[in-house]
Amino acid sequence: MRKVKHRHLAVIGVLFILLAVFAAAHEGEGSNTYDWLGHATLAVAGILLWILVSASGILFKRKVFKVWERNTFTYHKALSVLFTLVMIVTFIYGLQVTASHGEPLMSDNHGWIGLAIVVLALIQTIISLLLKNRQKIRVPHKILGYAIGILLLIQLILGVQSVLT
């Protein structure tokens, strides 16, 4: 059972790496709109990961599937780390694309909210991995997770708006 669990996580990780490679390969293929394809692709992947992280956290907390309780927590933890890594890569990639266009870095709300998402995801993941007694942080952990989700939605709207204008 344990090997299957790790294979699933490995497959998810490989898919996101392939997604990043695909996005990078198509960077700079034409108009200004397509230059942002890699950043946008990684951002959407991050949103999908956040949905998986949240769903696994809810399933674990609610103990909906008692048989999968241990596996659900393992998935939640691994997906949280993967989400944080994808957000870091997405943010750095966005900075690189912005710089390559000769635009000033962190000149709008999209950049600052992206930085906030990365910082909050790092705080969330590091504290959760370091603490043995997670009961103490249950409520702040949940609030921080939902806050990240709201910021991701705002980021999506701002990102699409900046490409369309």
- Domain of residue 149 covers 2-164
Q: How many domains does the chain have?
A: 1
DSSP class of 65: S
Domain with residue 41: its CATH number is 1.20.120.1770
Q: What would the pLDDT profile of 72-109 be if each residue is shown by its tens digit? A: 677 788 888 999 999 998 999 889 888 888 888 898 99
Cα–Cα dist 31/37, whole Å: 11
Residue 114: the pLDDT is: 95
pLDDT for position 3: 46
Burial-class residue 100 by CB neighbours within 10 Å (0-12, 13-18, 19+): exposed
Say what the pTM is: 0.77
Q: Which residues of the chain have pLDDT under 70?
A: 1-35, 60-72
The Cα 142–Cα 161 span in angstroms is: 29
Radius of gyration of the CA atoms of the chain, in A: 17
The DSSP string of 79-113 is HHHHHHHHHHHHHHHHHHHHHHTTPPTT-SHHHHH
Report pLDDT for 6: 55
**Quick one: pLDDT at residue 96?**
86
Opening angle at CA 97, ends 94 and 99, nearest 5: 105
